[in-house]
Amino acid sequence: MDLYPMKLQAPLKDYIWGGTKLKTDYGKKTDLEKVSESWELACHKDGMSIIENGPEAGRTLKSYLDEAGPAVLGEHAKKFPLLIKLIDAKDNLSVQVHPDNDYAMRVEGEYGKTEMWYIVDCEPGATLIYGFKHAISKEEFEQRIADNTLLEVCNQVPVHKGDVFFIASGTLHAIGKGIIICEIQQNSNTTYRVYDYGRVGKDGKPRELHVKKAIDVTKLEPVKERPHLDATIDIFEGTAARLLASCEYFTVYELDVDGTSHLTAGEDSFQSFTVLDGSVTLRTADSELIFQKGETSFLPAGLGAYTLTGKARLVLSKI
């Protein structure tokens, strides 16, 4: 199969806390009243990216990958490893936690979830929950969930555009209202809610909590120093690059393109970038493709050299 740059159409989710900015500001076309999440890069049973261009147009990315074989994922992947989202939190998300691989595979039959958040934009005064203010016991955790005092011990953090948060599995967390996030995570949709502000779902009933599982997996202490690097680096010719996160599951960069940048998709890993502002033209030896704000690529491992020309801010992920 020929290797070429692909533009992806994202499955969209309309959870109760979402807004309309992904439609109005990021170009998502849908009849949904609101779009909470846009699954920009997705090969999951709960959502599949569709290839928009080239000979594979109309296929799910998963269907293409199943036929193309593991080489297009690169030397570092055995199964499709990532799920990348744009998230519009008009209201607070539930306070939640994700399990690690061992627990998730044993209990849920899929990967656990370590993730990172890049703050694309936010309203003044916006905050999120990131771990605990201080260590607590399992007994106190369970009691505070039961009597609705959990927020008293949660670590509330003010956020600003461009901030990065590394959310290791087991970290209690919640995105606050008024925040747009680009989330890069393991390919998992397992979430354990412990507090949901007393809201009800579309069926008029309180949304399910997962207290026992959350107690099993939550790290009941403040978050330790985040294992990400934010120094400016220069490994991409012609662009300013910032390494946002590097761990066993993903490596993520912020790129500010102004002019022409020269990049390479090698044999080690596929690449995926999401344009967060502006637009770029991607060129290879035999193809040209324009990406606007809110659009995402899949670049197969082994694609080789390519250029990005334009003025844009984007997040590029690989493994």
Q: Which residues are catalytic?
A: 193
Distance CA 255, CA 274 (A): 10
Helix locations, the chain, DSSP H: 21-24, 61-68, 101-107, 138-146, 211-217
DSSP state letters, 79-148: S--EEEEEEEESSPPPEEE---HHHHHHHTSS----EEEEEEEE-TT-EEEEEESS---HHHHHHHHHTT
> Quick one: which of 97, 132, 317 has its CA closest to 220?
132
| Site of tokens 């309180």 | 206
Distance CA 122, CA 161 (A): 6
